[in-house]
């Protein structure tokens, strides 16, 4: 067997194992065996760049590079559904269908309404060629690179399964509850803003500029609509059953019914049972099953007449507001929290609910002692949606006024332009901010001093032993332990972990410092671009804005951080303790400034490296990659099949075109 044949064999086998594992949940080989095959494939592909395939199973991990989404016009517009909220309207829909079909028999397909974001997938010759978000229904974003990381979406359909040569299939991209909860736990630990619900998390993730972020976050997808000129059957249900055999994840909970009673049974069953599903749903979708009948019924301007969505009621309860308290986060943002009489909601006892921000409180015209309606919909955190008018009396308690001073340190609160939150500006002295920064610093993805939990930090803070992250490096075993064997042992472990953190690479140290808006990705970008903290501390706003994916807010925040002498002293103390403040030798060796000042557009298909690899190379050598050609473009790195529109624009603007080999020469070491 040639290496090329082995590559093909491995790809086919791995696609099948992926499907067995992720869609069918019945793997036929062990994880180790799977990894071994994947490694073998990656190695062979490395030796044969000419056989690169974006749909190879090795591409599921996503790359680290920035995606610019292209806007794509949908071949068929992506309509939305008319919503109904009660069973009367469902009855009316059913009657309309019956009348529209003039007495002909019909079947209704009942489905769950998944709460994520819709996606359109195109397959040609059994290969995923494009994935586009709904956008405005007429055009959406091309998110193919991100979608490739979703394991339940097949990249390559098994040969001979009977799929049409060309078709479109639509469905919902979701974040399962368990991934959502894990993600939020991580974000909480890093004091990053939480996602309110799995839909926002899925949508934020799918539109992420980095496919590797998407790969880490475990999205899932259910497909619910097959379109094309050669679909196998007239029945929508039958088409989806066929699609399942081709490798798509199709819900097992779809049912075909012939009466209104059966529809109501389906609705009533899932209104309760949906709480046990691994993914969020917000209703039921009803569709006339026959496509011939669908065409006969047609559509209104916005939505098809043959389908309708029935939305579940979010569970609501009325209770009494007793007190509003305020929480100060690591960034100083102050969040108001309603404290209420306990009430049962979706199976849990709720005592506290978020009030978002000052504007929200004012809009509700909230008074202490008011009866309020609390809701727990798709959101994890309960929220107050309204004052329960039924209970409003002449004599209300005092009106809730947002505080003016920090509840923790007394500083006068401030509001930044364009932000809804009030902030405590005392970042150098406000205890939750100081403790929060330390917690962030020691967190797993930062310095990974994982033996220091929030309680120990609280304790050390209360005893006056730590005020900032540099103080950690002065701690002694004695200070950390009280009496007793175990405490001494765990104190030693902590000291060791603090010691070990000196080896943490610069990009993570930069993230650990907790500069506002400098998350893991931005920290990496800044480290790669500026190499060490001294250079970074001296860059100008303009230089920062020149860097790919660094916007105004991030740039200003970096400048502000380094303008504060306390931070400079902090860096000096940490440096004296041996922390890494420059890129490692190895990472530095890979860098150069051969493309400094160059703005480069990538277009077409390449033989030696993938597009993402070229983006990385451009950044590594100090250049900037942008999506569209303008007068500022230095040159276009062009592969095969560069689009005619781009070519024309390049000629018009006199932008030169560089081919792959020429480009690789440009960045070669002399």
**Identified binder of ligand IVH from the candidate list 79, 297, 380, 497, rule CB under 6 A:** 79
Number of residues near ligand IVH (by CB under 6 A): 15
Distance CA 142, CA 157 (A): 21
Structure tokens at 448: 């990974």
| Least distance from ligand IVH to the Cβ atom of residue 239, Å | 13
Distance CA 320, CA 612 (A): 55
The answer to whether 168 and 227 have CB atoms below 8 angstroms apart is yes
**C-alpha neighbours within 13 Å on the C-beta side of residue 47:** 10
Strands (E), 487-617: 599-603
Distance CA 436, CA 458 (A): 10
The one segment of 78-86, 139-147, 154-162, 336-344 that binds ligand IVH by CB under 6 A:
78-86
Q: CA of 516: how far to CAs of 405, 442, 572, in Å? A: 22, 16, 20
Q: In the stretch 472-511, what mask flags binding to ligand IVH with x, by CB under 6 A?
A: ----------------------------------------
Q: Pick out residues in 300-329 that bind ligand IVH (CB under 6 A).
A: 304, 307, 309
Q: CA of 319: how far to CAs of 197, 354, 362, 389, 576, in Å? A: 23, 14, 19, 12, 56
| Least distance from ligand IVH to the Cβ atom of residue 169, Å | 12
Candidates 443, 594, 618, 630; CA nearest to 525 is: 618
612 binds ligand IVH (CB under 6 A): no
The smaller minimum CB distance to ligand IVH, of residues 86 and 339, is found at: 86
**Identified binder of ligand IVH from the candidate list 201, 242, 285, 421, rule CB under 6 A:** 285
80 binds ligand IVH (CB under 6 A): yes
The smaller minimum CB distance to ligand IVH, of residues 251 and 625, is found at: 251
| Least distance from ligand IVH to the Cβ atom of residue 224, Å | 4
Q: CA of 50: how far to CAs of 4, 10, 609, 657, in Å? A: 10, 17, 9, 22
484 phi/psi in degrees, rounded to 5 = 100, 150
The smaller minimum CB distance to ligand IVH, of residues 114 and 614, is found at: 114
What angle is formed at CA 250 by the lines to CA 246 and CA 254, rounded to 5 degrees?
130
Which residue among 113, 383, 524, 615 is the active-site one? 113
The smaller minimum CB distance to ligand IVH, of residues 298 and 482, is found at: 298
The answer to whether 95 and 78 have CB atoms below 8 angstroms apart is no
Q: Is 113 a catalytic residue?
A: yes
| Least distance from ligand IVH to the Cβ atom of residue 427, Å | 42
The answer to whether 259 and 273 have CB atoms below 8 angstroms apart is no
DSSP conformation class of 57: G
**Identified binder of ligand IVH from the candidate list 172, 220, 375, 439, rule CB under 6 A:** 172
| Least distance from ligand IVH to the Cβ atom of residue 254, Å | 8
| Least distance from ligand IVH to the Cβ atom of residue 266, Å | 12
The smaller minimum CB distance to ligand IVH, of residues 309 and 480, is found at: 309
Q: Pick out residues in 83-122 that bind ligand IVH (CB under 6 A).
A: 111, 113-114, 118
The answer to whether 110 and 263 have CB atoms below 8 angstroms apart is yes
446 binds ligand IVH (CB under 6 A): no
The residues, any chain, with a CB within 8 Å of residue 81's CB and separated by 6 or more, are 285, 303, 304, 307, 308, 309
What angle is formed at CA 220 by the lines to CA 112 and CA 43, rounded to 5 degrees?
155
| Least distance from ligand IVH to the Cβ atom of residue 335, Å | 31
The residues, any chain, with a CB within 8 Å of residue 414's CB and separated by 6 or more, are 422, 423, 425
User: For residue 40, how far is the Cα from the chain centroid?
Assistant: 30
The one segment of 16-24, 79-87, 366-374, 639-647 that binds ligand IVH by CB under 6 A:
79-87
CB atoms within 10 A of CB 300: 9
The one segment of 19-27, 35-43, 74-82, 375-383 that binds ligand IVH by CB under 6 A:
74-82
The smaller minimum CB distance to ligand IVH, of residues 307 and 413, is found at: 307
The smaller minimum CB distance to ligand IVH, of residues 109 and 470, is found at: 109
The one segment of 73-81, 364-372, 434-442, 641-649 that binds ligand IVH by CB under 6 A:
73-81
Distance CA 246, CA 231 (A): 12
The smaller minimum CB distance to ligand IVH, of residues 167 and 663, is found at: 167
**Identified binder of ligand IVH from the candidate list 34, 69, 224, 530, rule CB under 6 A:** 224
The total number of residues shown for the chain amounts to: 670
The closest residue (CB) to ligand IVH is 118
| Least distance from ligand IVH to the Cβ atom of residue 70, Å | 21
Distance CA 40, CA 8 (A): 12
The smaller minimum CB distance to ligand IVH, of residues 79 and 297, is found at: 79
Which residues belong to the active site? 113
Interface with ligand IVH (CB under 6 A): 79-81, 111, 113-114, 118, 134, 172, 224-225, 285, 304, 307, 309
């Amino acid at each position: 067997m040639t290496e090329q044949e082995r590559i093909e064999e491995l790809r086919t086998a791995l696609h099948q194992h992926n499907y067995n594992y992720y869609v069918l949940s019945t793997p036929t080989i062990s994880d180790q065996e799977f990894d071994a095959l994947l490694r073998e494939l990656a190695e062979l592909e490395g030796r044969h760049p000419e056989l690169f395939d974006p749909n190879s199973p090795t591409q599921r991990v996503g790359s680290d590079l920035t995606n610019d989404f292209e806007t794509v016009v949908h071949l068929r517009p992506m309509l939305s559904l008319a919503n109904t909220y009660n069973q009367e309207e469902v009855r009316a829909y059913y009657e309309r269908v019956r009348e529209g079909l003039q007495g002909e028999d019909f079947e209704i397909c009942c489905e769950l309404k998944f709460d994520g974001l819709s996606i359109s997938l195109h397959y040609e010759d059994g290969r995923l060629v494009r994935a586009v978000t709904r956008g405005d229904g007429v055009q959406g974003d091309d998110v193919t690179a991100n979608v490739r990381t979703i394991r339940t979406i097949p990249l390559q359909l098994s040969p001979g399964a009977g799929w049409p040569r060309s078709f479109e299939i639509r469905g919902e991209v979701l974040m399962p509850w368990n991934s959502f909860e894990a993600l939020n736990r991580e974000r909480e630990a890093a004091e990053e803003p939480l996602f309110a619900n799995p839909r926002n998390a899925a949508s934020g993730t799918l539109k992420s500029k980095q496919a590797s972020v998407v790969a880490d976050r475990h999205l899932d997808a259910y497909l619910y609509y097959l379109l094309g000129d050669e679909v196998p059957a007239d029945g929508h249900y039958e088409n989806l059953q066929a699609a399942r055999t081709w490798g798509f994840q199709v819900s097992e909970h779809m049912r075909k019914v012939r009466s209104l009673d059966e529809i109501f049974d389906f609705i009533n069953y899932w209104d309760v049972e949906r709480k046990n599903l691994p993914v969020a749903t917000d209703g039921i979708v009803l569709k006339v099953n026959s496509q011939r009948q669908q065409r006969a019924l047609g559509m209104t301007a916005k939505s098809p007449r043959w389908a309708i969505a029935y939305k579940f009621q979010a569970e609501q309860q009325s209770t009494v507001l007793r007190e509003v308290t305020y929480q100060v986060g690591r960034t100083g943002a102050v969040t108001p929290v309603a404290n209420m009489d306990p009430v049962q909601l979706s199976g849990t006892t709720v005592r506290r609910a978020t009030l978002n921000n000052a504007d929200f409180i004012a809009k509700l015209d909230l008074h202490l002692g008011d009866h309020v309606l609390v809701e727990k919909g798709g959101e994890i955190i309960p929220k107050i949606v309204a004052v329960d008018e039924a209970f409003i009396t002449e004599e209300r308690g005092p009106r809730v006024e947002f505080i003016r001073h920090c509840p923790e340190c007394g500083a006068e609160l401030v509001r930044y332009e364009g932000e809804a939150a009030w902030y405590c500006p005392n970042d150098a002295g406000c205890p939750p901010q100081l403790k929060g920064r330390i917690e962030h610093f020691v967190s797993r993805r930062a310095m990974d001093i994982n033996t220091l939990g929030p309680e120990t930090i609280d304790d050390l803070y209360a005893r006056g032993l730590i005020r900032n992250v540099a103080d950690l490096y002065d701690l002694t075993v004695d200070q950390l332990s009280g009496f007793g064997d175990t405490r001494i042992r765990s104190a030693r472990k902590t000291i060791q972990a603090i010691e070990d953190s000196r080896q943490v690479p610069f990009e993570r140290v930069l993230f650990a410092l907790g500069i506002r808006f400098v998350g893991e990705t931005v920290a990496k970008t800044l480290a790669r671009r500026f190499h060490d903290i001294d250079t970074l501390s001296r860059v100008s706003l303009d230089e920062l804005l020149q860097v790919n994916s660094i916007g105004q807010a991030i740039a200003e925040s970096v400048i502000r951080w380094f303008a504060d002498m306390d931070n400079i002293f902090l860096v000096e103390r940490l440096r004296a303790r041996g922390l890494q403040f420059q890129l490692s030798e190895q990472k530095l060796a890979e860098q150069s400034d051969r493309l400094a000042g160059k703005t480069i557009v990538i277009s077409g298909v390449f033989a030696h490296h993938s597009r993402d690899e070229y983006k990385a190379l451009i950044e590594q050598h100090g250049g900037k990659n942008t999506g569209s050609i303008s007068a500022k473009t230095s040159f276009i790195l062009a592969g095969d099949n560069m689009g005619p529109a781009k070519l024309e624009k390049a000629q018009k603007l006199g932008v030169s075109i560089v081919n792959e080999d020429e480009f690789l020469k440009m960045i070669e070491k002399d």
